[in-house]
Amino acid sequence: MKNLIAPHASETLKPLFINDSSERDAILEQSTSLSQLLLNSAAAANTVMLGAGYFTPLNGFMNKKDAISVANNMVTTDGLFWPVPIINLTTDIGSIKESDEIALLDPNVDGTPVMATQVIESIEVLTDSEMLNLAEKIFGTTDNKHPGVSNFLNLGNILVSGPIKVLNYSYFPKDFPGTFATAPEIREMLNKAGWSTTVAFQTRNPMHRAHEELCKMALERLKADGVLIHMTLGKLKDGDIPGDVRNEAIEKMVELYFPENTVIISGFGFDMLYAGPREALLHAVFRQNCGCSHLIVGRDHAGVGDYYGPFEAQEMFNQDIVKNSLKIKIFSADHTAYSKKLKEVVMMRDVDDHSKDDFVLLSGTKVREMLSNGEELPPEFARKEVAEILMKYYQSL
């Protein structure tokens, strides 16, 4: 068996999900007598990621010192490289006190069932200026129009830290059967496929021709065994395409246009942060935990609006702290588009004799408009079979 890349800062994965069903049932039963805390969606997503081993080697939610250290310097107080604070913020702690064990309730499932338990190591308040500093460091801005910032600043300022035991993966296994997978499950898939060089492609959108070709370029140039198309299944911003539609479109594209046994499609239960460079680093950490050797980092990776430079995310990986901490490498990509001159999809930086008019470029707004009106997308931009799935969705709105 070929060896997979080791998890981040650990010999083995550390999923916090309680695998033993009788132990899980016992904890669930015991949780009925515990104080309860209703999580917000961001903390619930962190819980799923901790449970699924994606956030190895963390054992729960960070305290204030660690959160500030991670925001300012990308390391915890004990020196672990981590790019984004993994925290449980709330607006109201009720009667919960330090050293309590509490039940964490899922805000995203009807009836708010218990999704985890947490031993409270500390309850700390973040001042307004500390919250703004965290936002500035994570998102590079404190502008409330940034969807990540406005969400973050509304989570509350009471920080509840301590280790957790995860009892379920929220709505993800039910809503995305066959797509949602944990980090150990993905490692198992890669082992079974016999892949040691795997390129991860992060997406929150359906994949057009440019994305398809980008994955194929990475496969070829890195002489990789395969591509993990790994999609965000959690909360997105308004206007983003829902996970089930995206999933169907990607599956159709892979089935028809990729060589057999070169792609694994999967998804993870996390809400998009839109944190650009910092989120790109987090994407790299948890793809390393999945066993991927490379991550495609494109133009404005995980960005939104004009908040980040086009290659700012790629530049983050040149920092010594990143190079010394992560084993996973990146495949740096430019914008890809169909060249009318060459009659193929190219990376824009590879063709310096082209002007903008030599490419088939459509904005997201234009694509949505065309699909909503039942207009076919140019075949150079999108595969017909993929466009049909998206058109059906837009016309149903």
**pLDDT tops 80 at residue 46:** yes
Structure tokens at 183: 């980090």
| Band of residue 277 on the pLDDT scale cut at 50, 70, 90 | very high
Q: Which amino acid is at 263?
A: V
Let me know if domain 21-170 sits in CATH 3.40.50.300: no
* Beta strands, E only, the chain: 35-38, 60-61, 89-90, 101-105, 114-119, 122-125, 158-166, 198-203, 226-232, 263-268, 294-297, 329-332, 336-339, 344-347, 359-360
Rounded to 5 degrees, φ, ψ at 373 are -85, 5
| Distance, CA of 121 to CA of 320 (rounded, Å) | 32
The CATH T-level fold of domain 174-396 is Rossmann fold (3.40.50)
Look at residue 364 in the predicted model and tell me its pLDDT: 80
| Distance, CA of 235 to CA of 270 (rounded, Å) | 7
Per DSSP, the residues of 4-53 read: PPPPTTSSS----B---HHHHHHHHHHHTTSEEEEPPHHHHHHHHHHHTT
Question: Is 108 a catalytic site residue?
Answer: no
Mean pLDDT of the chain: 96
pLDDT in tens, 84-110: 999 999 999 999 999 999 999 999 999
Q: How much is the average pLDDT of 20-45?
A: 98
Q: How much is the average pLDDT of 213-223?
A: 97
Catalytic position from the list 24, 133, 205, 368: 205
Look at residue 2 in the predicted model and tell me its pLDDT: 64
Q: How much is the average pLDDT of 55-60?
A: 98
| Distance, CA of 26 to CA of 8 (rounded, Å) | 31
Nearest to 225 by CA among 191, 250, 181, 182: 191
pLDDT in tens, 154-211: 999 999 999 999 999 999 999 999 999 999 999 999 999 999 999 999 998 889 999 9
| Distance, CA of 328 to CA of 281 (rounded, Å) | 10
The residues near 45 (Cβ < 8 Å, ≥ 6 apart) are 234, 235, 269, 270, 271
Structure tokens at 53: 């081993």
Q: Where are the domains of the chain?
A: 21-170, 174-396
Catalytic position from the list 24, 157, 204, 368: 204
Look at residue 1 in the predicted model and tell me its pLDDT: 47
Which stretches of 194-342 are DSSP H helices?
209-221, 243-257, 276-290, 312-316, 320-325
Look at residue 235 in the predicted model and tell me its pLDDT: 79
Instruction: Give the pTM.
Output: 0.96
Look at residue 211 in the predicted model and tell me its pLDDT: 94
The residues near 15 (Cβ < 8 Å, ≥ 6 apart) are 50, 51, 52, 53, 56, 166, 182, 183, 184
Q: Which of 2-6, 288-292, 312-316, 346-350 has the lowest mean pLDDT?
A: 2-6
Question: Is 349 a catalytic site residue?
Answer: no
**pLDDT tops 90 at residue 243:** no
